[in-house]
Copies of this chain bind each other. A is one copy, B any other.
Amino acid sequence: MKKQYDAIRAAAYDANMQLPKLGLVLFTFGNVSAADHEQRVFAIKPSGVPYDELSPAMMVIVDFDGNVVDGALRPSSDTKTHAVLYNHWPDVGGIVHTHSTYATAWAQALSDIPIFGTTHADHTTADIPCAPPMDDQMIAGDYEYQTGFQILHCLAERKLSYHDMEMILVGSHAPFTWGKDCRKAVYNSAVLESVAQMAYLTRQIHPDAVRLKESLIRKHYERKHGPHSYYGQ
């Protein structure tokens, strides 16, 4: 096991262990990776290993083409999706995939999550997109690889930058989130689940609930992320 990957192994391990604590996964239904863009590799959870048996050493090192370069175990079955995204997104240091309950329900309903309130706008200014399911040929082909492109295409079509929108639903499947590092990506997964639950309840209370107005979207996003942000330390 190579020393040069210790840092991303440790980071990926810590981030993976956050998923059950945050109530975002049942059994092994999720995975986090942590990337090192200089070495062009990422550390990712081994496939099907329960969270309480994980150790940093079990994290598998994979290059941006999806090839295992270090580690004794088979990487997550979603590894190629992570590889495609890292390959296209130089500023993303962590990616998370879960089947968290409410976000997955929206994905199964093939619906974007409308921006209904400031909790949403604190994190992004657009509806959270739901990428359509792939066509049958892509599914039968290199499925997880194509899932990565499905995500890229959906963002492109919606004219969304991966810097501004750090979460997506893959239709019929489940959510992916990302961030500058894997801590932020896990944070985004928890925020997404909370926003998905609130949007669900909002629609149930008022089926014709309207999107948050533009001035409030701008205000909340800017106070956290704009050049004159005044949130945090």
Contacts and interface: CB of A to CB of B under 8 A. Distances in A.
A191 B26 contact: yes
A212 B136 CA distance: 12
Nearest to A190: B26
A208 to B, nearest CB: 9
A117 B105 CA distance: 9
A202 interface: yes
Given A27-B187, A46-B233, A219 B116 contact: no
Contact of A143 (B73, B136, B223): B223
Given A77-B223, A99-B119, A119-B99, A108 B198 contact: yes
Contacts of A233: 46-49, 73-74
A124 B48 CA distance: 17
Given A77-B230, A202-B108, A231-B47, A197 B101 contact: yes
Contact of A198 (B47, B105, B140, B230): B105
A109 B208 CA distance: 9
Given A47-B231, A109-B209, A104 B77 contact: no
Contacts of A116: 108-109, 172
Nearest to A102: B201
A228 to B, nearest CB: 12
A92 interface: no
B107 A117 contact: yes
5 contacts: A104-B198, A108-B117, A139-B216, A140-B215, A143-B223
